[in-house]
Amino acid sequence: MIIEKFTGELLQKINSIESKAFTALIISDFVSAGELYGEYYKILRNEEDEKLPKDKKYHKGTPLHNWGIALINQGKIVEGFERIILAYVEDLLNSPDPKDAFNAPAYKTLFSNDIIDKNFLNNIFQIANRVRDEGRVPKNPEKIIEEYKTKVIGQVGISSSFTVKNADEVPTINASNPTVPKEGTPDVANILKSLGPKERLVFIGGGHRNIALLRGIREIVAKMGDFKPVLVSDFQLELNEHDKSMEFLKGCAIAIFEISISNGHLMEIERACDLEKAGNLKFVLLYQGIKDSSDPTTTGMLNKFKDHMTRYMNLDELEIKIQQFLSKKYCVI
């Protein structure tokens, strides 16, 4: 199956919807985000069925995953995870190697939640792998779920409780709706103002399972000129983590992301790209490599940012790379 790229009128339509949907997601307007990502997905499905030949399809993982996130944050847990499961299926079917899907956001979201049956994820992987080998990849990811229901469970029309267990009983994801700060709690703008001028503030982002390295980057930045590192975990506020990160990112003129462990910060990088296009931010993506030819082992969704990626092979080189980045004409020490 050939994965067709978006072109022409379809590309324009998708870009317009995606821009609005992503903005809605960022500002926690999850109802609008869900509607827009749902529209995005349905447009692609219609285009596939009506205009593409049998051997071509579109990759639909992005709208499905973000549609699911929007639904979960509306409290529609089962519906949300069903969309993210379909995004996982899309990644399995469309990646160069099915195992590449394990580095994508959908699988990471599913695997990290106790509500999801891990045997189910493995069964879906096995089915997707088999249909790829047999040359019968479907355009509609729901066909894989139907095959699971028929061949693994043994019956059709089974409820979603077989893929999402105890959805009404297990605590899942806290909604990312903004909370009202306690009286006397400083807001992000005031905190950043106290650190110094915006043009010297350096946002440090990355997977917080990699927190020791992020703190190391913070120390490297702190000793370079009068730059001020901003690591979100250093600040305790009455904001959820998503909103807190976005507010700190918007308040900085420079951002450094460590992407060797690629999870939890994709939306921050997408937002950094938007801010850069508007002339409000410059950012770099650092990753570890054991040799000069090493490519980053990150999710494929970061491939579009390859021109921002910089490899380092040890901590001394990490410090050099950061200094080189901060020494550029827009970040003069």
Instruction: Report the Cα 19 to chain-centroid distance in Å.
Output: 15
Query: How, if at all, do strands 56-57 and 2-3 pair?
Result: parallel
Site of tokens 């997601």? 25
The CATH number that domain 188-326 falls under is 3.40.50.450
**Entry pTM:** 0.51
Going residue by residue through the chain (333 aa), what tens digit of pLDDT does each one get? 788 888 889 998 888 898 888 888 777 788 999 999 999 999 999 999 888 888 899 999 999 999 998 898 888 888 888 999 999 999 999 988 889 888 888 888 888 776 777 888 888 999 999 999 998 899 999 999 888 887 665 543 333 333 444 444 333 333 333 344 444 445 788 888 888 899 999 999 887 667 788 889 999 999 887 899 999 888 876 656 666 788 899 999 999 998 886 555 677 888 888 889 888 899 999 988 766 555 555 555 566 778 888 888 888 899 999 999 988 744 544
pLDDT of residue 170: 35
pLDDT of residue 90: 93
pLDDT of residue 139: 92
Domain assignments of the chain as residue spans, ordered by start: 2-162, 188-326
Describe the crossing of helices 315-326 and 211-222 by its angle, rounded to 10 degrees.
Answer: 50
pLDDT of residue 46: 92
3-state secondary structure of 205: strand
Q: How far apart are CA 220 and CA 287, in angstroms?
A: 16
